[in-house]
Amino acid sequence: MDTDDLRRRLSRDLDPEMREQPGLSALNQGIVGLIVFSILMAVAETETALVEGHTWVFDSLSLVLFVAFGAEYAARLWIAPLNPRFGSSLRYARTPAAILDLLVLISFLLPLLGLEAALLRMIRIVRLVRLARLGRYSLALQMIGAAVTDRRYELGVSVIIASGLMLLSSTALYLAEGAHQPENFGSIPRAMWWSVATLTTVGYGDIVPVTVTGRIFAAVTALTGIGIIAIPTGILAGAFSDALRRARGRGD
């Protein structure tokens, strides 16, 4: 097999957009497995009891994963010119997916260089961004992304409405409760914590109004919050239904 044939075959196996058959290739299934394993390892690394005395195990696994993902990244750069959407390795390297891959590689490499503990903890958390890489292989995650994109204007309007109501309820409780509970409602920013907890129907109960006027505003805010939650839920439900119907129409 010459170099061009190997490149084309690797492109079909590694790039889902170049694959003619439905589903993931065996190579991409293996990559997904490595991504999931690396995420679980990053979670485990946050538990000191697991890391102490076994640092060499995590360092060795990090090195193995770095080599595996580094080879994948290099292979994707090599086959990128075959995809008409990119046309060149440099153009592919500037895509969000390629930048994310590079960040993942850096997250593996830096801890092996002996950085200070505080920075190491931050890097371990950053490794969880590998979860986003699964979107490249998951039709479900792609459908979620398409649904949010299709309804971005409606969702934007709902966010504006929610923000306006949060500001109004915070102002109302500041006026009604500020003199009685200055530590909780002494300013509009302080009242916003209560407003967020109430509008989202979480209701922690750590801050409650004590005046009649404040309780009336609180009741209105709580009832309004039910509708605020329902608006984006309905928008996304309709978008998911449309995306699923389109995917079935394409035979995915």
164/200 same-domain check: yes
12/127 same-domain check: yes
17/115 same-domain check: yes
pLDDT at 77: 92
Query: Quick one: average pLDDT of 39-57?
Result: 81
pLDDT at 117: 46
How far apart CA 150 and CA 235 sit, in angstroms, is 10
Q: Three-state secondary structure along 201-238?
A: CCCCCCCCCCCHHHHHHHHHHHHHHHHHHHHHHHHHHH
Whether residue 64 is predicted with pLDDT greater than 60 in this model: the reply is yes
76/15 same-domain check: yes
Count of residues in the chain: 252
Residue type, 98: A
Highest mean pLDDT among 14-23, 98-107, 165-174: 165-174
73/104 same-domain check: yes
pLDDT at 106: 78
Query: Quick one: pLDDT band at residue 136, thresholds 50, 70, 90?
Result: low
Q: Per mean pLDDT, which range of 8-12, 31-35, 132-136, 210-214 is the poorest?
A: 132-136
Three-state secondary-structure class, residue 95 = coil
Residues in contact with 207: Cβ distance below 8 Å, sequence separation at least 6, in sequence order: 181, 184, 185, 193, 194, 197
More confident residue, 167 or 14: 167
Whether residue 139 is predicted with pLDDT greater than 90 in this model: the reply is no
168, 178, 194, 207, 230 from 197: Cα distances, Å? 14, 18, 5, 9, 16
Output Rg (C-alpha) for the chain, integer angstroms.
Answer: 25
Whether residue 124 is predicted with pLDDT greater than 60 in this model: the reply is no
Domain that holds residue 98: 3-137
More confident residue, 183 or 249: 183
CATH of the domain at 124: 1.20.120.350
30/132 same-domain check: yes
pLDDT at 227: 83
9/49 same-domain check: yes
Provide the number of structural domains found in the chain: 2
Residue-wise pLDDT for 18-28, tens only, equals 877 766 788 88
DSSP 8-state secondary structure symbol assigned to residue 18: G
16/128 same-domain check: yes
CATH of the domain at 224: 1.10.287.70
| 194 close to 185: Cβ distance less than 8 angstroms | yes
Sign of CA dihedral 137, 138, 144, 150: positive
pLDDT at 247: 66
Q: Is residue 142 part of a domain?
A: no
pLDDT at 187: 92
180/73 same-domain check: no
How far apart CA 41 and CA 61 sit, in angstroms, is 9
Residue-wise pLDDT for 169-215, tens only, equals 999 999 999 999 999 899 999 999 999 988 888 878 888 999 999 99
DSSP 8-state secondary structure symbol assigned to residue 80: G
